[in-house]
Structure 1
Amino acid sequence: MTRSPWPLFATLLLILSPATQATQPELMPYLPQRTLELAEYLPPPPPAGTAEDRLDLDTVLLVQRQRTPQQVEQAKRDDHLDDAAFPFAQGILGAEFTVERHPQTAHFFRRVLVDLEQTLMPAKHHFARPRPYELSQEVKPILPPPMGESYPSGHTMDAYLTAILLAKMVPEHRAELFARAAAAAQSRVVAGVHYPTDLEGGRISAAVLANELLKNPGALRDFEHARREVRSNLALE
């Protein structure tokens, strides 16, 4: 299968609608490029052809046989990363947790997504793991073939990074946020586009990037603005 030359999240660097993109400045990452060599923090995926690799594929096929229509629909919803934290957490933080009411929070998470993309893609290229459906015709993905290699899972990284950062803002909802991240990650296996070990790589990646971001003065400043905005709108302070 021919891979697209565009990065996995290329379109997400311009998350706003086409009508507003022209008037918005380009979003910049908080971290200088190559600040974080993510591959140095990750265990490698199972080597191709090993028992562990076959178990990974067998698990994808088992989930495929057992997936329900409800899981399929959820996996399709979880495929979208637009507007960062808001669709992810609205079911937990309430219907008022919207972009319109949280402009500083939206700005913070949009810039974080740029950091995620520039950190993730070199690691994907380093491990160069093919997607499950590229190795087995038995795998029937329910999503358009994603761009980029399989390990680590970028959607899982995004879900856990969002959960980590929001949990630091509203620790009252920590358990629900991490449960939501776990469900979003599992959707990638349900969809047939990732192996279970890809999800583990995504979880580790999120923790590493969150730690690095919260040491950066600019990211920490914007995080604090977002934290105060969220807590004020939720009447938590």
Structure 2
Amino acid sequence: MPVLTRSLWFFLALSGAGIVLAEQAALPYLPANQFRLADYLPPPPAIDSSLQQSDLKAVLAAQAVRSSAQVSQVQQDDEWEDSVFHFARESLGVGFSVERLPLTRAFFRRAQEDLVQFLMPAKHSYGRPRPYEASALVKPVLPPPEGDSYPSGHSMNGYLNATLLSMALPEKRSELFSRAQINADSRVIAGVHFPSDLEGGKISAAVLAARLLDDPSAAVDFEAVKKEIRGVLASTD
């Protein structure tokens, strides 16, 4: 018997709107030309500015006290695939899993495609060097990430996860946004971002969340996601 593809498994397992959502998991919701993320962001500090020097000092200060436990954590947080499940596992418990939440997985995969398609042009427009490119004193503990430094994609992804999950589970908002802050800070600890990159990512997440939920298709799918999350977490309490 031939091995079924992941998409076909989704097709067989789901019905109604959920089928469409799962089948299109790799497609962004929004057209690439809908908006420019850079239009919503302040520019990063200029290379020769005092703000840039403060940013670099913060990276070096984090590096000076970096522990092996922190290195292990930032390496785990570096993963992108199905990152929302790693992101929220501690806050939402073992029931919040890939296996139990196929609609949630598909929705967040599509949202992440939107993130990438708007993030990368913004990075390119600013062309900010990474901390280890700006100073040989910075010793990163991760492989060189894709794209330039500003804004931070991991920060954007973490805050996007926190924003959307908080809309589904308002009672978990504080925990989820605390987790987003930890996730963002890990990029400075790792030596691959400046603190101001994280702020750019946070703003970017708010912009994308609003744009996504203004899209009719994404909004319908998100309603299904909220019901799925509530149902699964209630069954595992």
Shared fold, TM over 0.5? yes
What's the CA shift for 1:167? 0.3
Which consecutive residues of structure 2, in runs of 5 or more, have no partner in the other structure? Answer: 9-22
Deviations 1:52-79 (A, max 9, x none): 1011011100110011111111111110
Q: Does the Cα contact within 8 Å between 2:25 and 2:107 map onto a contact in 1?
A: no
**1:29 maps to what in 2?**
28
The alpha-carbon deviation at position 25 of structure 1 amounts to 6.1
Q: What residue identity is the alignment partner of 2:71?
A: V
Q: How does 1:161-180 map to 2 (within 5 A)?
A: 161-180=160-179
Radius of gyration: which is bigger? 2
Percentage of pairs with the same residue: 53
Count of aligned positions = 218
Which residue identity lines up with residue 83 of structure 2 in the other structure?
A
Aligned to 2:110: 111
Match for residue 204 of structure 1? Answer: 203
- C-alpha offsets along residues 195-231 of structure 1, whole Å, 9 cap, x if unaligned? 0000000000000000010100000011000000001
- 1:75 corresponding residue in structure 2: 74
Deviation for aligned residue 1:85: 1.2
2:188 counterpart residue number: 189
- Alignment correspondent of 2:18: none
Given that 2:28 and 2:114 are in contact with CA atoms closer than 8 Å, whether structure 1 keeps it comes out as yes
SS in 1 for 2:234: coil
Partner of 1:126: 125
Say what the alpha-carbon RMSD is for the aligned residues: 1.6
Letter in 2 for 1:43: P
TM-score normalised by structure 1 residue count: 0.89
Q: CA, structure 1 residues 26+99, in 2 after alignment: closer, same or farther (shift >3 Å)? A: closer
CA distance in 2, matches of 1:22, 1:177: 29
- Residues 21, 121 of structure 1: alpha-carbon distance in 2 compared, 3 angstrom cutoff: farther
- Is the alpha carbon distance of 1:182 and 1:26 closer, same or farther for their aligned partners in structure 2, counting shifts above 3 Å? closer
Looking at structure 1, the residues matched to 32 and 163 of structure 2 have their Cα atoms a distance apart, in angstroms, of 22
Cα distance in 2 for partners of 1:172, 1:94 equals 14
Distance 2:83 2:71 in 1: 21
Q: Distance in 2 between matches of 1:127 and 1:47?
A: 10
**Kept after mapping to 2: 8 A contact 1:84/1:113:** no
What are the residue-to-residue correspondences of 1:45-84 with 2, within 5 Å? 45-84=44-83
- Structure 1 unmatched ranges of 5 or more: 1-18
1:73 alignment partner AA: S
